[in-house]
Structure 1
């Protein structure tokens, strides 16, 4: 959207209007004028916006948008016709291209015409409305010209119903053929609109494959009629809308059912459901007689088992009296054997359970590891590419070694005009929690860099802290987690070699003519802090060609190792960097990596490690 200012004082100026003035960030826009107030209206993919001349901004127009249906609405045309009727053409995300006619009153818009236009194609837009000299409305749609006759338009719904036409068993025997009957006092069958209780059939279990057919006596766009059905007692959800006018159910269990069918015409009207009720009787083996027979058989078997057991017990007692001593010894041996067997079975069961748990833990561990590896690929994808880094910073190195698969340390680079921005951050935690924080930090930096181009970098750090606090919902309560990140942010002008630096719990190491100069950042993190209202400070300096600067997280200096298992420490790191100043950046990286591996030895890495070196 462009605005041309033709005033003599300012001369002819063209201004681009976008999201900074309140409009949605999109390419599609249509210009209209409010027929009554003559104010400027903008049609977008998200509805109408009106221009506020006092504040030079655009605002979401609640008056016009209140008429539009739910969902996003892409505005194509606005036209005021005869009889103060406003005509709208728009694409709704649910209904497609639609037309509405409304009349404006003191409180808003009153919908007048909607239903007559639903029968038109919703796949094509209405580009133009025109009211002729006879106050007749004409409009185009899909390369066709239409005339709307208001004298014949009907907005009220017409009677609409669906009828059950046929119910059959296995596609053969007819249970119902479109008409219900009821017997009068003399026994004569008369047609009736509803199915009487006596007309609800009870089918043998053998006949449990049933087919239903239905139709709707509605003849406006009858091919666009859709049907949905529900068999209560078998399912709880209505079927999807479709053209099919029949449904077949097979192998239904015994019970009572009610088949419900409803229809929907092209205007979106739904008919009252038509119904048919029936029952499927129990199979013979589930009847009361069969269950009673089962009970008698079970009782008889139980009596037989009891008598047989008693007889065996008497015989056993007789043998026990004759062989008492032998049986006693035998019993003792059997008891001992049972105890041994029980212990063996228990041990085997425990072994099997442990094996199963081990396999389950192994599968879960593999699944989690695969997911984290995939997360590592995503995290690597959002970090600056090597080609981008080489283009923006020809002489640099990045030593990046996460403690786990994914890392809580990240770096970020961007270029605005002649200035290259580099950030290095150490997020709270490491592994998966730290990775989530790093993704949040990268996302917010990408967003803020587009809004604060040309601003001092300490203001960028202030805005980043505000958005991190808002994203994490931090309130400053003493019991909540102090999540955040330690970060250094540097802006470099490669041509002038002017440097800006701001740090959050982070220092910048510079080597100026071979001498180490440490630029200290502020002692507060990017996150909630007891001094949260304090603004970050900015440091400016100018370096010479060949000077170098270094940014790093605390993972390198905090690593335990060496002969006495101590931390590497910042003093050793300063000495190491000083010794490497005559080397090129690639050799410096290899030396730093070798020194870290030798110091760590067989010790576990305790934190993520990230270091960036840049030579001007």
Structure 2
């Protein structure tokens, strides 16, 4: 708003300057019978380019041009006249340039933005240089404070030359005042429209936010309570950090049976997108997973993923056509058999980490998502015998893809270091450590902390001894 007002003021001053210079030249012809001031007219025509620069968006250049062109043109005009004019000099030849140059010092302060310190300083220096030049020229020609060679016989002419521009200036400022009043009315009307529009936007935003918060409550109700992990595992925790209100990441825990054997199904999943779209996908995926595991019609962890993939493709009408949506899920799934301390693992683009005695093992998933995929094949199932005391970690790529203040990604290397550093601690201390480490990572430059770029989810639990 301030920049726009300064641009309007610069344009108005440019128009007034042109009118005054042109009017004074007309006055010179009738009063003095002299020819046009070519320097003044050329400068005033150049000044008319400032509205064009403002229209093109070069506001700083327009303000600077106007602020320096006026004193330069007046200095040139004064210098040429004095070199061509034999003494004694008319009084106005000495007084006018000095008075106008001193008044021009105000212009840069009014029309140049204070934030543009370099341009403001240059404009003021140009004005001061012009004053110094005029003073030096006067002294070199013998015109000083004593007015020793100044003629005082032209007071009538001096009065004309002073009164005429004053009348023009008063008329110009009256015209400006009229224009500014109209502009102010237009601005007030526009502000009123903007206020009404903002009120409507705020109302819509409030309704949308309330709806999204309601969706968040539904999503949280579908997620298992974090305390449920403690019923089956020691030192368990869930680090869950949605990027927006609702999340595309979700975790799943359900006690079930596979081929008559009791087991726990644990899932750590990352659906396509985040926010509302990711939230829809996560609710759909949780519902389908729950149906598959509840019916107990699966033979392995990989079989659950194969069934889930087929149901996702049906639900999203995915047939493999080039122009259709390729939404899907990346997830890791564990079936843990507590009676025999055995773990089955299957993954869709997501791994599982196991730490025992400060040694970290990586169980990699298949490089394909849950959803339509060109090189689709059956998911791989692996079985691992456990001794007890192992720390298991499942996580989404929102953790490792998070950038720091300089745009550097965390990557799995740093995550592994963090987990090895804290894996011997209890669940709450591990959660606190990871939260603090992530905050430090995102705030490596406290003046410009990194924004969270994706939903984050990490689940940790220790196998009972």
Note the aligned Cα RMSD (angstroms). 2.1
Q: CA deviation at 1:459?
A: 1.0
Aligned to 1:522: 366
The question of 1:422 aligning with 2:278 is answered: no
Residue 407 (structure 1) shift: 0.4
How far apart are residue 399 of structure 1 and its match? Answer: 0.4
Moved more, 518-527 or 368-377: 368-377
Name the structure where strand makes up a greater proportion of residues.
1
| Match in the other structure for 1:22 | none
2:383 maps to which residue?
Answer: 540
Q: How far off its partner does 1:392 sit?
A: 3.1
Q: Aligned with 1:521: secondary structure? A: coil
Structure 2: how far apart are the matches of 1:589 and 1:544?
24
Q: 1:346 to 1:425 in 2, by over 3 A?
A: same
Runs of 4+ in 1 over 4 A off after TM superposition: 332-341
Q: C-alpha displacement at 1:480, in angstroms?
A: 2.0
State whether residues 335 and 345 of structure 2, in contact with CA within 8 Å, keep that contact through their aligned partners in structure 1: yes
Residues 231-274 of structure 1 deviation map (CA, whole Å, 9 limit, x = unaligned): xxxxxxxxxxxxxxxxxxxxxxxxxxxxxxxxxxxxxxxxxxxx
2:183 to 337, 343, 347: 343
Provide closer, same or farther for how the CA distance between residues 598 and 333 of structure 1 changes in structure 2, counting only shifts above 3 A: closer
Alpha-carbon distance in structure 2 between the residues aligned to 1:440 and 1:416: 20
Cα distance in structure 2, aligned partners of 1:541 and 1:393: 17
Larger Rg: 1
Q: Answer yes or no: is 1:494 the counterpart of 2:345.
A: no
Q: Which residue of 1 aligns with 2:240?
A: 400
Change (3 A) 1:505 1:515: same
SS at match of 2:183: helix
Could you tell me how far apart the structure 1 residues matched to 2:219 and 2:294 are? 21
Cα shift readout 1:184-210 (whole Å, capped 9, x = no counterpart) = xxxxxxxxxxxxxxxxxxxxxxxxxxx
After superposition, the C-alpha distances for 1:61-88 in whole angstroms (9 at most, x for unaligned) are: xxxxxxxxxxxxxxxxxxxxxxxxxxxx
* Greater relative contact order structure (CA < 8 Å, 6+ sep): 2
Structure 2 residue corresponding to 1:368, chosen from 194, 199, 208: 208
Q: How many residue pairs were aligned?
A: 284
Which has the larger helix fraction?
Answer: 2
Distance 2:173 2:409 in 1: 66
- CA distance in structure 1 between the partners assigned to 2:227 and 2:413 by the alignment: 33
> Secondary structure at the residue paired with 1:348?
helix
Query: Which of 432, 450, 455 lines up with 1:603 in the alignment?
Result: 450
Unaligned runs of 5+ in 2: 1-171, 444-448
How far off is 1:453 after superposition? 4.4
Residues 547-585 of structure 1, C-alpha deviations (whole Å, 9 max, x = no match): 1111000111111115x4411111011111111122122
1:389 matched to 2:229: yes
1:352 Cα deviation from its structure 2 partner: 0.8
Checking the alignment, whether the CA contact within 8 Å between 2:298 and 2:304 is kept in structure 1 is no
Match of 1:560 in 2: 403
The structural deviation recorded for 1:335 is: 8.9
C-alpha distance in 2, partners of 1:440/1:578? 35
The structural deviation recorded for 1:479 is: 2.1
**What 5-or-longer segments of structure 1 have no aligned partner?**
1-331
Aligned to 1:545, the other structure's residue is in SS state: coil
Partner residue in 1 for 2:79: none
TM-score, with length taken from structure 1: 0.44
In the TM superposition, residue 395 of structure 1 has moved relative to its aligned partner by 3.3
User: What is the SS of the residue equivalent to 2:425?
Assistant: coil
Q: 2:270 touches 2:330 (CA, 8 Å); kept in 1? A: yes
Superposed displacement of residue 339, structure 1: 4.9
What is the TM-score with the length of structure 2 in the denominator? Answer: 0.58
Q: What is the SS of the residue equivalent to 1:531?
A: coil
Distance in 1 separating the partners of 2:225 and 2:206: 29
